[in-house]
Structure 1
Amino acid sequence: MNEAVKIPAQDQDAMPADEHKMEPAPDYMPRHPGVGKLEGKVALITGGDSGIGRAVSVLFAREGAKVAIAYLEEYKDAEETKRLVEAEGSEALLLPGDIGKKAHAEEIVAKTVERFGKLDILINNAAQQWLDEDLTELDEETLRRTFDSNVMGYFFCTQAALPHLSEGASIVNTSSVNAFAGMGSLISYSTTRGASLAFSRSLAENLIEKGIRVNTVAPGPIWTPFIPGTMPAEQVEDFGSGVPMGRPGQPWEVATSYLFLCSSDGNYFNGQTLHPNGGMIVGA
């Protein structure tokens, strides 16, 4: 079991926040040599610039996939992720913009197919979260922004991707432990993650006859830009200590779930959820 990494108090006045400003840096690098599990595949990963998305991008590249990385405006983080993908001997395409707008979702899919000739894997991962302990103080703009990013973006990207996905393709949607356990200080975010879970399960049933598998990853407390971008500095210092493993997870420890579900290792998984959450027991 990995030892806990000491995380000092810190925060950022941005959402999404910047990975390159975090201390210590999240651990995103794969632990094992690639064996070609995604050789010849093309993956579109939203929120691929940092956090879990970066870890998935690098791991997929190591396993042979070409990677299109969609992100909002974290240009420095995205450039570093592109460098990391290329260091694995693969190719990366950077796609900045707001997936909560349908036209942009359609554009990033079109650019991915134009660049790489096809699309095999869609990872709906981009999201935003805000503290909202008092529901009466949650303003409409922030609420709509959260749902546009975390729910509408998943619908729009999937709608755009489906005409290009054929039998054997895979879609993985990011949810959260909060979709199962709830979180009183993250009401809107937890609600959107419940929506992505229901979206996965419903879409899995809808697409199975086409041979397209749809699954979910529901991480627990992971050391990503979400944390300093959301929490007060004093809460960041204790982040993740309350789970049975006593520490936050690192992005690389979550990325392996996406690889499993998108490779032939996960061929018999559809409509299912994997839970990299440090030992929290939640409903399946």
Structure 2
Amino acid sequence: MHPHPAVRWIVPAVGLAALAVPAAASQAAAQSAAEQADPVIIAHRGASGYAPENTVAAAQVAADLGTSWVETDVQRTADGELVLMHDTTLDRTTDAEELFPDRAPWNVADFTAEEIAQLDAGSWFGAEFAGEPVPTLTDFLDELAANGQQLLLELKAPDLYPGIEEEILAELAAEGWLDEAAPGERLVLQSFDEASMRTAHELNPDVEIGFLGSPEVAELPAFAEFADQINPTYRDLTADYVAEIQALSGPHGAPLEVHTWTVNDAETAADVTALGVNGIITNFPDVVRAAVGG
């Protein structure tokens, strides 16, 4: 998801009055939302409110909090290794600037896997995480498999990495992550990049796809050709918009789902749940679960 300031132990108390269910919403829509199952809770970059984002430590904290689904971001090194990093540069969440002072602007794509493996991706968050490495995608998959967790994998800036969709699918296949009983049971790929997600769907139509963004209602049928989820920021949600998305079926025949981001307080979690979302992406999965179940 879009970069935001690092959030630690203090949970924001921002509400979501703007997303209250409109008075014009039909009684049927309100009843449908009331009857809906608790939303799936997804740990954003791992439990990134409590551990450094996109690290094995963040995935482990999510597991400790009882959170099955974990979201993370993948990019590619100069020598073709798939690694986890949100920003397209390394300086915010590692000591790359200190270790490689002459390599500004510290683009992920300009560093080899061996160089990135030397970085400390934990100290910026807290001394207790000093030395936490930037994981490879394989490292992270192994951690999730050991914990019995599921993966929402965001392709970050795929336009910078031609062919990355095929490479990711190959690695997921090699690690057994495409051996799902049903699409989306264990794995979903998502991106803000529509062309990338269309490519991923064409390469492997069995994989469930999410589109990050808020397409116009008139555009939704075109997205339903390749996407199983439409995943907007919570600020764009209304009950009517959620209902319009869920009224369509995706490429696997099931209704499109809505997984919204990034919800970090109880009031907002309750509000988006009332709008009928299927999932909530959060830095604080325990806070959201306490508010809405799931």
Task: Report the TM-score range of the alignment, normalised by the length of the smaller protein.
Answer: 0.3 to 0.5
- TM-score calculated relative to the size of structure 2: 0.34
Structure 1 or 2, whichever has the larger Rg, is: 2
- TM-score calculated relative to the size of structure 1: 0.35
